[in-house]
Amino acid sequence: MSFTGDTPDEKLFKEIQPDECFNFECSGRCMGKCCRFITILLDPWDVEVIARHLNLPGPEFLELFCTYDFGSSSSWPFVQLKHAEKGPCAFLLKDGRCSIYPVRPRNCRTYPIGRAVQVEYAGDIPLIRERLFMVERMEFCLGHEGSRTWTVKEWLEDSEAYKYYELSDLYLCLVQYATDVLHSRAWLSPKTARLLMPLLYFPDILRAKLGISEAELDHELFYRRRLKAARTLLTEMAASFGYGPLAGGIVADQNTPLAEHIRQVIIGEH
């Protein structure tokens, strides 16, 4: 099985290589038309960076600007921008610019280049395959008529996409691990999925609860460690339902409170 990040139809979206050239330059004549009636999926890193920029606690940011659903077939809490789905994005300014441009989501920063990621687990090791593609041209978008020429690589470097891709892949590996290795569709309920929310989307709340400061672990390292802790927690949950590598074995010390157990994983004592 596989998880695909940007869900392209392989026939519609032709693969392009990093050294291929294309013309693109945003035009004032259509500025912001691309920011309406559009699905923008957010990774945990997108959520963290935007919420911090807006100085909002994670839960408040999700409540105000996002939709997420525990009731889908996977029970996985995927998040997307709420307003952009139904009209203008909440961050679209009157003049068509983006009010959170420096911290805009991964999918906004790379347009018109898309990236599909396929993760497969061979045992415990994820195999990651990527395809870069040109997103289907929208009639109103005049960017392709621009005179500036880029290679795909230059475009992605200019939009600082590579760091986002790396951190997004860690998340995709976690989702795929839960699906393929732990068979989460068989046991992950909305109630258990809620336990993941602080680890995935509320780093500020998690830091406060665990007493881990920014000086102790910077944002990026904390992100990497909290995904690792989510993997540990999911593996132990799966075992209690009879799934995954720990099924039938000994899981965490039941006497250690959950928060302390997570703290130990995050600060590396486990």
Cα 54 from Cα 133, distance rounded (Å): 31
In 3D, which of 1, 20, 244 has the Cα closest to residue 132?
Answer: 20
Cα 119 from Cα 125, distance rounded (Å): 10
Q: How far is the CB of 72 from ligand SF4 (least distance, A)?
A: 23
Give the residue with the Cβ less far from ligand SF4, 54 or 251. 54
Q: How far is the CB of 153 from ligand SF4 (least distance, A)?
A: 19
| Secondary structure, 3-state, 186-236 | HCCCHHHHHCCHHHHCCHHHHHHHHCCCCCCCCHHHHHHHHHHHHHHHHHH
Cα 59 from Cα 188, distance rounded (Å): 21
Give the residue with the Cβ less far from ligand SF4, 54 or 141. 141
Q: How far is the CB of 43 from ligand SF4 (least distance, A)?
A: 13
Give the residue with the Cβ less far from ligand SF4, 31 or 246. 31
> Do 17 and 132 contact (CB within 8 A), yes or no?
yes
In sequence order, which residues have a C-beta less than 8 Å from that of residue 46 and are 6 or more positions away? 105, 106, 164
Q: How far is the CB of 64 from ligand SF4 (least distance, A)?
A: 14
Give the residue with the Cβ less far from ligand SF4, 76 or 91. 91
Give the residue with the Cβ less far from ligand SF4, 47 or 188. 47
Q: How far is the CB of 121 from ligand SF4 (least distance, A)?
A: 32
Q: How far is the CB of 98 from ligand SF4 (least distance, A)?
A: 3
Which residues here bind ligand SF4, judged by CB under 6 A? Answer: 26-27, 30-35, 40, 84, 89, 91-92, 98, 100, 104-105, 108, 111, 140-143
Cα 33 from Cα 187, distance rounded (Å): 41
Give the residue with the Cβ less far from ligand SF4, 59 or 146. 146
